[in-house]
Structure 1
Amino acid sequence: MTSLCPAAPPAGERHVLVAQARTQMLSGAENALVPQGVAGWLWRSWQRCMAGGRRPQDKVEFEAVGPHALRHAQERHQALIQAARPVMAQLVGAVGAMRYFCLLTDAAGTVLEVQGPVNRQDLRALAIGRVGVDLSEHGVGTSAIGAALAEQGPVWLHQREHFFDALRDYSCAGAPVFGPEGQCLGMLDITGIEVPERPELQLLALRCARAMEDRLLRAMPHAVLLHLNWPGGPLGQEGEGLLALDAEGYLLGGNTVARQLVPRPLQPPGGRLHCQELLAMPWSNLVDHARRRQDEPVQVPLWSGLRLQALVRTGPALQPGLFQGLAATPRPASGAMPLRTNEQLLIQQAVQEAGGNISLAARNLGLSRATLYRRLSRRRPPAG
């Protein structure tokens, strides 16, 4: 995902521009263009605070939700918390020495988990570094938490860029965390108090948020996990796309990278998507590859004509002997295009791309030469 922030000017110059932008904000100029040196998301957040009748000098309460609401939020997000804890522990190892600590919130901005060096003698740290506190934009104005949740992307926020004067000692980076179905579950925040400016932490927050997404997806019961990337990209490590499939080839979920690599069609009437609606490849071929060569990359064509590389690996929900039945009776896709039509289009495309070379086309499809000849013969009209 690309950054929501344009290339920033040098720190000293940017601080001057931010101060000028705050003066413009307080002047009440409506529908003004985004000032130079200020990110669009930051200006929009300031404007929302102003529209809500707030002013920078107002007191910030740092209110906490009630114990019942907190317990409900923690129970509802138990999978997210479990996926986040080991990632946050590693993150603290990277930023703790610089006096940054980490927060995990839900999509409403309520803190679910805190890790790192929270100075218990500093009221500024205690105000935000506790489970249950509401750090949404409604609660504390412009912050990395509220901005990341509102903009659905990574942000970096330093001192005077916060809307309220009471937050001017904080610096924070944040990135949203998305669930297997693409919904925003919450966000990861990295916060320091009176620390040097470290805008590179925005990328670190994004990387760790994506690691949490991968852990969430892998924890789902699934029969097959597709590791996807462009040819030449890494497979079996971070930065790849992941799609979880059930035993019939239907999509259970994917991470953010997979949703970027594989455009999803409109949701079918039944509410389920088969992998053949996403990939121009018969489900039986994926099953066969997982059964025989799951540590060997395979080329996977998309319906756009583009190709990805993939590892096809079995998951914890796979029952013994299941592949034998699946290979014999592949499921049709749930969309309008039946399996036989899918297969014919795929074969035609592969043969054309191979310049009529049947051996090369078979290898690209993951089929034997004899199997491809057999399927080609089915496409020819009967003689006479």
Structure 2
Amino acid sequence: MSPAHPTAPMPVISHMGERHALVSQARLQLQEPAASHALLPAGVAPWLWRSWQRCLLQDRHPAERVEFEAVGPHALNRAQEQQHALLQAARPVMAQLVGAVGAMHYFCLLTDAAGTVLEVQGPVDQRDMRALAIGRVGVDLSELCVGTSAIGAVLAEHAPVWLHRHEHFFDDLRDYSCAGAPIFGPQGQCLGMLDITGIDVPERPELLHLALRCSRAIEDRLLRTLPHALLLHVNWPGGPLGQEGEGLMAFDNDGCLLGSNSVARQLVPRPAQPPGMNQPTHSQELLALPWAHLVEHARRRPDALMQLPLWSGLRLQALVQPGPQLHPPLPTGVAATPVAMSSAHPSLLRTSEHLLIQQALQEAQGNVSQAAKRLGLSRATLYRRLGNKRNGSAR
């Protein structure tokens, strides 16, 4: 049955089509004299508008010709030597990535933190000057040189981005589409970025997720190469462990943190240090658990899940696995010496110890013997540390 008041069908505009229209409208504002001070236009991502404005502040114009310049051979050799570990970690991941996107005519780039291309993998069309312009080792793809691109935006924002055709600042880049994600080192510093680029290709924003996954895989490979004594796999209860998406933390034999991946830095934030101070962070500043317990668990039950309490009161699940640098266990009958938190302030040590004891007592429901066993202490030692002289009054 037809409706009583028929109306003409409304035109359907896809989400992507509407966004492209808004981007095109916003690009017209770039021609206006006050564009560098204009408010964020509708439909334009804040990071994209910031990149456009940075280009305008450099007195650049979208119609300018882009020169894809390469750094000199000495500068390239120096950059590759400085990022040797990054290159070694990235190459196998990039090879797998090309297997996923190569059939769609996308190729992959790895840059350092300055935007210099260190590695290229995938189907770079040798007959297409647009592909050859960027798909070569040594070319400078920083925002300063080529304006808004996934490379420059990722390195400026330290966040993953997807960029399609006219979202680039310069008209010369309108044929490119690219997804990119930053790569952070074990200390949290940005080492560079991973880019997936196509020319005259349909929009594939789902590649952003793939770029981010691969950049995280590179971070994990970098962390595992550290000469560590213990590798801690952490996640929220129910989250994956021993596979993609987990947090990783590497420690030396003294319990000092050597590095962590991006997931672990979110799950277990490092304590803030005073400006100019760069002291190592001990495990007991991060985890409400004695270092000796982690070492013992790694030696005896490396494949068994354990609960990992944080000082905030939150709990994670963890796998604790011995690394290649872990000291061999002491001979039978030799008492282990507690690991000293030499880098921590004495007041932090006292606070940490008190909190550990109180937590163990709470978990043992006040049973001193059970709490002492949990802490790896004798009952008498626990009493001394509690300052409780009424030994006979407790269980």
Q: TM-score, length-normalised on structure 2?
A: 0.88
User: Aligned Cα RMSD in Å?
Assistant: 2.4
How far apart in 2 are the matches of 1:18 and 1:317?
54
Matched, 1:91 2:97: yes
Indicate the residue corresponding to 2:340 in structure 1. 331
> Which digits, 9 at most, give the CA deviation of each residue in 1:285-324, with x for residues without a partner?
1111111111111111111111111111111222433698
How far apart in 1 are the matches of 2:236 and 2:378?
25
Q: For residues 46 and 226 of structure 1, do their structure 2 counterparts lie closer, same or farther at Cα, with a shift above 3 Å needed?
A: same
How far apart in 2 are the matches of 1:285 and 1:12?
57
Matched, 1:284 2:288: no
The Cα of 1:326 is off from its aligned counterpart by: 9.3
- Paired AA for residue 22 in structure 1: R
Q: Is the 8 A contact 2:361 2:368 kept in 1?
A: no
Residue 131 of structure 2, aligned match among 117, 121, 125: 125
Q: Is the 8 A contact 1:250 1:272 kept in 2?
A: yes
> Which digits, 9 at most, give the CA deviation of each residue in 1:313-343, with x for residues without a partner?
1112224336988943322252224546423
Q: For residues 201 and 380 of structure 1, do their structure 2 counterparts lie closer, same or farther at Cα, with a shift above 3 Å needed?
A: same
Higher-Rg member (1/2): 2
The Cα of 1:24 is off from its aligned counterpart by: 1.3
The Cα of 1:267 is off from its aligned counterpart by: 3.1
Indicate the residue corresponding to 1:34 in structure 2. 40
The Cα of 1:380 is off from its aligned counterpart by: 4.7
Indicate the residue corresponding to 1:229 in structure 2. 235
Q: Is the 8 A contact 2:369 2:379 kept in 1?
A: no
Matched, 1:381 2:381: no
Q: How does 1:9-158 map to 2 (within 5 A)?
A: 10-29=15-34, 30-158=36-164
Q: Is the 8 A contact 2:228 2:250 kept in 1?
A: yes
Matched, 1:308 2:316: yes
Which structure 1 segments of 5+ residues have no match?
A: 1-8
Q: For residues 285 and 374 of structure 1, do their structure 2 counterparts lie closer, same or farther at Cα, with a shift above 3 Å needed?
A: farther
The Cα of 1:350 is off from its aligned counterpart by: 4.0
Q: For residues 96 and 370 of structure 1, do their structure 2 counterparts lie closer, same or farther at Cα, with a shift above 3 Å needed?
A: closer
Q: For residues 232 and 89 of structure 1, do their structure 2 counterparts lie closer, same or farther at Cα, with a shift above 3 Å needed?
A: same
SS state at 1:35 partner: coil
Greater Cα shift, 229-238 or 209-218: 229-238
How far apart in 1 are the matches of 2:238 and 2:381?
30
Indicate the residue corresponding to 2:361 in structure 1. 351
- Paired AA for residue 297 in structure 1: L
Q: For residues 255 and 322 of structure 1, do their structure 2 counterparts lie closer, same or farther at Cα, with a shift above 3 Å needed?
A: farther
- Paired AA for residue 353 in structure 2: E
SS state at 2:85 partner: helix
Q: Is the 8 A contact 1:281 1:342 kept in 2?
A: no
SS state at 2:193 partner: strand
> Which digits, 9 at most, give the CA deviation of each residue in 1:100-142, with x for residues without a partner?
0000000000000000000001000000000000000011000
How far apart in 1 are the matches of 2:249 and 2:137?
32
Matched, 1:168 2:174: yes
Which structure 2 segments of 5+ residues have no match?
A: 1-13
Greater Cα shift, 370-379 or 34-43: 370-379
> Which digits, 9 at most, give the CA deviation of each residue in 1:59-88, with x for residues without a partner?
111000000000110011000000000000
Indicate the residue corresponding to 2:10 in structure 1. none
Q: Is the 8 A contact 2:279 2:343 kept in 1?
A: no
Q: TM-score, length-normalised on structure 1?
A: 0.91
- Paired AA for residue 17 in structure 1: L
Residue 204 of structure 1, aligned match among 210, 222, 225: 210
Q: For residues 323 and 255 of structure 1, do their structure 2 counterparts lie closer, same or farther at Cα, with a shift above 3 Å needed?
A: farther
Indicate the residue corresponding to 1:298 in structure 2. 306
Q: Is the 8 A contact 1:333 1:339 kept in 2?
A: no
The Cα of 1:25 is off from its aligned counterpart by: 2.1
- Paired AA for residue 310 in structure 1: A
- Paired AA for residue 357 in structure 2: I
How far apart in 2 are the matches of 1:58 and 1:310?
54
SS state at 2:59 partner: coil
Greater Cα shift, 264-273 or 302-311: 264-273
Indicate the residue corresponding to 2:9 in structure 1. none
